[in-house]
Amino acid sequence: MEIYLPIVQVHIDVIFILFVSFAVGVLSGLFGVGGGFLMTPFLIFLGIPPIYAVPNEINNILATSVSGSMTHWFKNTLDYKMGLMIIIGGTVGTILGIITFTFFEETGKLSIIISLFYMYLLAIIGTLMLIQGASEIDAARKKIILKKKLHSHYWIHRLPLKLRFPKSRLYESAFTPILLGIIVGFVAALIGVGGAFLMVPAMIYLIGMPIKLIPGTSLFVTVFISALVTVLHAFKYSSIDLILVIVLVVGSIVGVQVGQKIGQYLNSSHLKTLFAMLLCSVAIAIAYDTFFYEGVRKIKETEIVSFENMNFFSKFIYKLSDSNPLLYGSLAILLAIILGIVGAGGRQLLSKYKHVFLIQKK
């Protein structure tokens, strides 16, 4: 079943997009990531131009992150103080990322830059995490006890402005999470991800946070960074398509709840290894598409439908995006937040009634 996107000006198969966004949502909930490192390149593979794929997926990430972080809030498994430090840096990084995005878009090299960014970042991070995770699993299988320091210290930990993070039981420089936030915000604005695929390994290996606090804190940060990216893209390019956002969000929110449930049954070593394998697989797919696909995949040409032939909702979206992009971007954020809250609240409600049912059954 195809629907028309008035802002992107292409037709999409809504059932297929719903299924893919559900699958990406499962991975988002499982690994504590926004899922953009999968969905953004996938949208580009389908022929949606990067200037539209990036902001619309980041708006979807906002919804899934709201849903996921609320679930962790209910469980009290996120570190607010650490998250706020990362958000401070993320604000600066996001502005720098938008400036860079504009530069490459104007030079016509945006698509290749995004592909190269994804390929190298995912390959490097995935390989390092895979080696680490495989070593831990092998040691556990051989019943080898590895003696580890409580925290490994690098040059970044010697920076000034030391702060205590009681939730994570850490005492280190505030510049550590702030610098991480700058990188995450820059990457989020440039290539359309929440930045969690950078945050998760950094929180594990650089900051040294407890594993159980990482997914929730990562999603908490992603909420604020993705909201800022959405507004800036809407204001600068008027590229947010609410119809595409709704389709992506509905599938992703259901998927993220399923993924979080599955994640409860996996230990940290297996989780890190699976995450690393996923990153490497996506990097290989992007490399193949960029260098060896011989141009079979092409960006879809715009399929312009006259304003008179659009339905009421499409006309409303088109007019509001054109006349008031800032308000339109804010509306997209509000919609994503509401859907995210509904998703998390729905799961909490179902869990509550399931618990009551089990008690009565006994």
pLDDT tens-place string over residues 110-144: 778 877 877 787 788 778 777 776 776 676 677 66
Q: Is the pLDDT of residue 302 over 70?
A: no
Least confident of 6-10, 264-268, 277-281, 343-347: 264-268
pLDDT above 90 coverage of the chain, percent: 1
Answer with the residue of higher pLDDT: 309 or 83.
83
* The pLDDT of residue 240 is above 70: yes
Residue 92: band (very low, low, confident or very high) from pLDDT cuts 50, 70, 90: very high
CA atoms of 1 and 188, how far apart (whole Å): 31
| Model pTM score | 0.70
Q: What is the C-alpha to C-alpha distance for residues 168 and 164, in angstroms, rounded to an integer?
A: 9
- What's the pLDDT score for residue 16? 86
Lowest mean pLDDT among 18-27, 105-114, 265-274, 292-301: 292-301
Residues 189-196, mean pLDDT to the nearest whole number: 72
Question: In the predicted model, is pLDDT for residue 304 greater than 50?
Answer: yes
Per-residue pLDDT averaged across 17-42, rounded? 75
pLDDT tops 60 at residue 147? no
3-state secondary structure of 336: helix
Least confident of 142-146, 176-180, 236-240, 253-257: 142-146
Confidence of residue 295 (pLDDT cuts 50, 70, 90): very low
**What is the mean predicted confidence (pLDDT) over 174-194?**
82
| 272 band by pLDDT with thresholds 50, 70 and 90 | low
How many C-beta atoms surround the C-beta of residue 96 within 10 A? 15
Interval 174-184 mean pLDDT: 86
| CB-CB neighbours of 107 under 10 Å | 9
DSSP letters along 278-341, please? HHHHHHHHHHHHHHTSTT-S-PPPP----GGGS-HHHHHHHHHHHH-HHHHHHHHHHHHHHHHH
Q: 274 pLDDT exceeds 70?
A: yes
Q: Is the predicted pLDDT of residue 296 greater than 60, yes or no?
A: no
Taking residues 210-223, report their average pLDDT. Answer: 81
Closest CA to 76 of 267, 216, 259, 260: 216
pLDDT of 55 reads 81
Mean pLDDT of the chain: 76
Q: Could you tell me the pLDDT band of residue 361, with boundaries at 50, 70 and 90?
A: very low
> Which residues, at least 6 apart from 336, have a Cβ–Cβ distance to it below 8 Å?
59, 60, 62, 63, 66, 230, 245, 249
Q: Strand, helix or coil at 170? A: strand
> What's the rounded mean pLDDT across residues 285-313?
64
